[in-house]
Amino acid sequence: MALIDYPDLDRIDAKNREAIERFAREHGRPTLLRMMLAYSPPAQEAMNDLYHPVVQNGRLSRRLKESLLVASSEARECRYCAGGHSLFLVNEFGYDQDAVRQMRSGGENDGWTAAETALVRVIRTAASDPQSVTQEDIDGLRATGWSDDEIVEGLIMASHSAWTTTVAQALRLEDDLGTPEFSGYF
């Protein structure tokens, strides 16, 4: 069980409820993270700004960004976040589960270019231990063709992951993944 009770969703404001229901409508499953954020309307609203604008805009593809989020969440050992973004890859981008499992275990993906593989490696490092990223890592990404703007965009995914995994892990949301609604999680 999560470390605190979920709020009574019948007693939260309409805007808060819409954020939770919208996720369920779009993805066919509940969002434990957003349910907990209902305790703090400003945090719920911040979450809206955190995900959609950066995933839907920019130079990197949404497919690559979701891959970076899976890799970052796994590097931070958050099963709840890694599982959620894994489902995006499977349901929306046609990945098979084995390929995503391989990615989560630190392996490479056959569909990635050399540049994408290099980017995933550095973002994984940034997510788990940002201080261990080196100038050589950044220069290596430049050498594979990434611009500074694109590298910053990739690192934003690691930052995003740091945000969500902190809440999910601190409240131990992954303890509630055993219910039938999450049977598709892996």
Partner 1 sequence: MRRGRLPPGVVNVISSERAQAPGVVEGLRTRAEALQAGDPRDPRTQIGPLADPAAPARVRELLEDTRNRGASVAVGGTNDTTFGLSAGILTSDYDQGLAIAASLNTGMAHVNDQPVNDEPYVPFGGMGDSGYGRFGGTASIHEFTELRWTTVQRQPREFHLRTAHPARQRRQHMSYITAPEASQLTTGTRDQLELFAAAHGHFSALRAVVVRFPAALGALDNQYSLIMGRGRLDRWVREAVFAACSAERGNAYLAGAMAAEAVRHGADPDWVNGLLTQDSNPVGAGEAVGALIKFAGKMAREPYKSVEADVSALHAAGWANEDLVELLSVISLSAYMDTLSLSLRIGPQAAPQPAN
Out of 112, 163, 185, 186, the residue judged to bind partner 1 by CB under 8 A: 163
Sequence letter at residue 129: D
Dist. CA 42–CA 49, nearest whole Å:
11
Asked if residue 74 binds partner 1 (CB under 8 A), the reply is no
Non-local CB neighbours of 2 within 8 Å, separated by 6+ positions: 32, 36, 171, 172, 173, 175, 176
**Closest by CA position to 82, among listed 102, 104, 61:** 104
Residues 157, 123 contacting (CB under 8 angstroms): yes
Q: Does 42 bind partner 1 (CB under 8 A)?
A: yes
CB 185 to partner 1: min, Å = 18
Size of the site for partner 1 (CB under 8 A): 50
The least CB distance from residue 60 to partner 1, in Å, is: 9
Residues in touch with partner 1 (CB under 8 A): 3-5, 7, 36-37, 39-40, 42-43, 45-46, 49-50, 53-54, 56-58, 76-78, 125-127, 130-131, 133, 135, 138, 148-149, 151-153, 155-156, 158-160, 162-167, 169-172
